[in-house]
Structure 1
Amino acid sequence: MIKVITCKVNEESKEDFFEEQKIWKALSPLNGFLGQVGGWSKKEPLTACVFAFWENQEAYHYFMDKAHDEILLHSNQFSTYKSIDVSLYEERITIPGSEKRIIHALKKGKYVRMARVQVKPDHSDHFIEMQETLWNQGMSVAEGLLGGTFAISKKIMKDFLVFTCWGDERSHQKYVEKHFPVFVNAAKMQTDVQEIKGEELVLEEAWRVLPCNHGS
């Protein structure tokens, strides 16, 4: 399970939001927690993006039922943003990288590319097939890609998340220049995709939360 949170903040609240985000270190000991990372959007510097990974739906729901509100009670974070959007996705395909597990990619990653994709009606099967047969194979040669996930929305079945974690921004830029245009053409994305919204961000080290057993 992947939870994507985007918060829009005012300039005067940005520093307070940054500090309050650190309270989520409390996630570390929870069973089934795989890691959380986040940072500020390069496109919209007053938009914060946070990604939380859970082993399964049961672990996520336990957190929401038993721990979420208690953590929030010790925070004033809700007063630091003017809007919040929360979306939940379930992994469909693992995107291969140099790290075998997403835990290790989240531990080492410095840069994230996220795409939220709305697929045309009746095109989901082809879109998924292209991820399996073309994008995954192609991205496996991308230098600096640590790993990622291709996931489907729990709310709207034609909405997808493509999340990739990189060793640094330069590695992602090289991939965009060298490989990405070739894959876009080969996948014929325009036939499947109705809308796509992308974000890129340098990860904030202070917001990185790893599970207590992340070395395993």
Structure 2
Amino acid sequence: MMMIKVITCKVSEERKEDFFEEQKIWKALSPLNGFLGQVGGWSDQDPSTACIFAFWENEEAYQYFMDNVHDEILLHSNQSSTYKSIDVSLYEESFTVPGSEKKITHVLEKAKYVRVARALVKPGHADHFIDMQKTIWNPGMSAAEGFLGGSFAISKKRVRDFLVFTCWGNERFHQIVEKHFPALVKETKMQTDVQEIMGEEVVLEEAWRVLPFNNGG
């Protein structure tokens, strides 16, 4: 199953330019087997937060990268000195959120805007939460103009922790569909399922986009 790595870094205003430049070192991911793409940008809600999203074909490919490549890339970087704190979470895809693009590599290539929801679901409510994503949220997103695609995933470490990752052609498309969110929330009775939810909306930085060398097809 596909793995999704979510990285958030708190960066002081005076170090944002340094962080921006250092983030470009991850272009080194392109030739790695099983690497599907990486995108990122600054949070709309908190401009001092950098959000990075990396995609791997499976856990084996991701683990090979962590064991053999990750530290080598960091060795040639000063990025760790540019942020105040870092949070890293790993998720495994459960199913896709279908959009106009069928391959995740093409979704990540064309996306300009990302919306992410990380939900901690109440005990005993996971099945209903998942069913609502499949039967209400997925069709609602799939029908939206400018929606490229996304992923519904489950945390590898934290129980009942779910990720909904969605990509859009630009912020305008997302703003149009956002008007329908309250109706969808009401229909899915989200408040009865969710204990805690955190969202990020991110305008992607082109300089941080990393695509696999074999991104054709």
Q: TM-score, normalised by structure 2?
A: 0.98
Residues 65-113 of structure 1 deviation map (CA, whole Å, 9 limit, x = unaligned): 0100000001000000000000000001100000001110100000000
Q: Note if contact 2:89-2:155 (Cα within 8 Å) is conserved in structure 1.
A: yes
1:207 aligns with 2:177: no
Residues 31-55 of structure 1 deviation map (CA, whole Å, 9 limit, x = unaligned): 0000000000011101000000000
Q: What does residue range 85-96 of structure 1 map to in structure 2 within 5 Å?
A: 85-96=87-98
SS in 2 for 1:200: strand
- Which residue identity lines up with residue 19 of structure 1 in the other structure? E
Query: Which residue does the alignment assign to 2:177?
Result: 175
Q: What runs of 5+ residues in structure 1 fail to find an aligned partner?
A: none
- TM-fit CA distance, 1:171: 0.2
Residues 120-152 of structure 1 deviation map (CA, whole Å, 9 limit, x = unaligned): 011111111111111111211111000000100
SS in 2 for 1:161: strand
Q: Note if contact 2:111-2:148 (Cα within 8 Å) is conserved in structure 1.
A: yes
- TM-fit CA distance, 1:182: 1.8
Per mean C-alpha deviation after superposition, the further-off stretch among 132-141 and 76-85 is: 132-141
Query: Which residue does the alignment assign to 1:19?
Result: 21
Aligned length: 215
Give the distance between the partners of 1:27 and 1:85, measured in 2 at CA. 20
Q: Note if contact 2:142-2:149 (Cα within 8 Å) is conserved in structure 1.
A: no
Give the distance between the partners of 2:189 and 2:62, measured in 1 at CA. 35
Which of structure 1's runs of 4+ aligned residues deviate more than 4 A? Answer: none
- TM-fit CA distance, 1:157: 2.4
Query: Which residue does the alignment assign to 1:135?
Result: 137
Query: Which residue does the alignment assign to 1:10?
Result: 12
Query: Which residue does the alignment assign to 2:114?
Result: 112
Give the distance between the partners of 1:181 and 1:42, measured in 2 at CA. 20
1:157 aligns with 2:159: yes
SS in 1 for 2:182: helix
Query: Which residue does the alignment assign to 1:34?
Result: 36
Residues 160-213 of structure 1 deviation map (CA, whole Å, 9 limit, x = unaligned): 111100000000000001x21221111000110011100101000000000000
Q: Find the partner of 2:80 among 73, 78, 81.
A: 78
Q: What runs of 5+ residues in structure 2 fail to find an aligned partner?
A: none
C-alpha RMSD of matched pairs (Å) = 0.6
Give the distance between the partners of 1:140 and 1:182, measured in 2 at CA. 16
Q: Find the partner of 2:49 among 44, 47, 50.
A: 47
SS in 1 for 2:159: coil
Query: Which residue does the alignment assign to 1:196?
Result: 197
Q: Find the partner of 1:100 among 99, 102, 108.
A: 102
Give the distance between the partners of 2:141 and 2:156, measured in 1 at CA. 25
Q: TM-score, normalised by structure 1?
A: 0.98
Give the distance between the partners of 1:137 and 1:170, measured in 2 at CA. 20
Give the distance between the partners of 2:216 and 2:159, measured in 1 at CA. 34
Identity of aligned residues (%): 76
1:60 aligns with 2:62: yes
